Amino acid sequence: MNTKFKQNMSWIFFGNIVHAIFQYLLNIYIARVFTTNDYGLINYATSLIAFFTSIGTLGFNGVITKKFSDDESKAGEYIGSAIVARQFFAVVAIVVLQIIVRGATGVDAMLPQIVFYQSLAMLFGPFDMVVYWYRYKYAAHKVAITRLLAFFISAGWRIVAVAVFKNISAYVLGVTLESVLFGVFLAVEYKKEYPQNKLSFSSKTVKGLLLISYPFISSALLSTIYGQTDKIMLKAMMSNEAVAMYSVAMTLAGAISIIPQALIEGFRPDIMKFRQDNMHMYRRRLKQLYACVFWICVMYCVGVTVFAKWIVLFLYGEKYLAAVPALSLIVWYTTFSYFGAINNIYMVAENKSKWVQVTTLVGAITNVVLNALLIPSLGVVGAAMASLVTQIIANFALLYFIKPIRENFYLILQAVRFDFD
């Protein structure tokens, strides 16, 4: 591995790990201070917004690195066009969300306000397009420092909102503040450092990006369906408290995510570059990524399954003990969910991104059906079981049955055996 690649990976790891550790500590504090009903309500609102946030990426985050590798001189146009297109969608999404939550019957009185404050983050989220440029240029340290600065300012706000005022709306505004600061800081930094690649907008460029990203739009929505439907169905069939228990289980299950995410984002630029001129290294990098993610997740899953009760008791307290059975199941979800993220890199690199839609559609349908069948009788455990089975089917087993991407299935099998040649 070259020096720039290793340095880039180190900074991605550092930024993700520090951010995630403090974010998890903050989430634990919030869960302990708020009632299970309030904590469930916040997570329910987040799930509603996630549907629009996922579509709002317009699939650009999955393809923009490839566009950089095609023509670096047009980076400013790619980034600027992507930002404007996503912000336009964000405005529409904020309005639609308010119509939905204000028009629905039987909703919590606080829900419209919480949803509005959280959804404002969608206006600044599009600036994360700059993140992919910095990572592509092996300058992940800029992203890490900027992200942490935004987070700590926002965290200070949130702690005051909870500790002093115990106000849900003020807390949610603090969550949005992180996206606002991160977006503004990144845009200012980019403008100073790359004046030759000035941000610009071109409708033709937006159309060009959408031509290759459109499979990822529906895929992102479908991914959200099988990533967030469980919480929405738990709320509809049970209560805010059930959502709170499931959210705690998912949060603990995803605590390992900082490592796979850093690996995936660190490997992505190299994989895309090697696909252009070195197929042996391209496949080797892919298999190295699969192997690292798989075995790190497996070790974590075993530990959490064995000590689930003590982990919940120590971190969240006795009022969340009902989350333990779900945690023991849902933690295994993570291994296969990150297979899905790597599968997407493979499909983009191979120009087979249309198959992302197919695998994700199967996953979404499977998850909705299983949730409908299992939640009424098994509650939170049923939702956990539905999510785990869905991930195994959509992100691993299904690859074998789709001939154009079957190679991906065998790459995974080789990778978990450490067969990199």
Q: Which amino acid is at 280?
A: H
3-state secondary structure of 350: coil
pLDDT at 1 over 60: no
Domain spans of the chain, in order of start: 3-416
Distance CA 260, CA 292 (A): 8
Q: What is the pLDDT of residue 304?
A: 93
Written as six digits, the tokens of 249 are 């289980």
Q: What is the pLDDT of residue 76?
A: 76
Q: Is 203 exposed, middle or buried (0-12, 13-18, 19+ CB in 10 A)?
A: exposed
Tokens 């550790």 locate to: 21
Q: Which amino acid is at 377?
A: S
Enumerate the H helices of 164-278 as residue ranges: 168-193, 203-237, 240-253, 258-277
Tokens 């300012």 locate to: 153
Residues 6 or more apart whose CB falls under 8 angstroms from that of 325 comprise: 380, 381, 384
pLDDT at 133 over 80: no
Q: What is the pLDDT of residue 303?
A: 94
pLDDT at 287 over 60: yes
Residue of 177, 120, 114 lying closest to 150 (CA atoms): 177
pLDDT at 220 over 70: yes
Q: What is the pLDDT of residue 314?
A: 92
The greatest distance separating any two alpha carbons of the chain, rounded to the nearest whole angstrom, comes to 60
Q: What is the pLDDT of residue 285?
A: 86
pLDDT grade, residue 221 (50/70/90)?
confident
Distance CA 216, CA 204 (A): 19
**Mean confidence (pLDDT) of the chain:** 84
pTM of the model: 0.76
Written as six digits, the tokens of 255 are 């605590």
Q: What is the DSSP letter of 394?
A: I
Kindly report, residue by residue over 317-374, the tens digit of the pLDDT. Answer: 899 999 999 999 999 988 888 888 888 888 888 888 778 778 888 888 898 999 999 9
**Contact (CB, 8 A) for 284 and 418:** no
Enumerate the H helices of 57-128 as residue ranges: 64-70, 75-103, 111-119
Q: Is 239 exposed, middle or buried (0-12, 13-18, 19+ CB in 10 A)?
A: middle
pLDDT at 381 over 60: yes
Kindly report, residue by residue over 47-71, the tens digit of the pLDDT. Answer: 888 878 877 777 777 677 777 776 7
Distance CA 131, CA 126 (A): 10
Between 378 and 183, the higher pLDDT residue: 378
**Contact (CB, 8 A) for 222 and 379:** no
Kindly report, residue by residue over 298-327, the tens digit of the pLDDT. Answer: 999 999 999 999 999 999 989 999 999 999
In degrees, to the nearest 5, what angle opens at C-alpha 390 toward C-alphas 388 and 394?
125
Between 235 and 213, the higher pLDDT residue: 235
**Three-state secondary structure readout of 26-49:** HHHHHHHHCCHHHHHHHHHHHHHH
Q: How many CB atoms lie within 10 A of CB 387?
A: 29
Q: What is the pLDDT of residue 104?
A: 67
Distance CA 308, CA 189 (A): 43
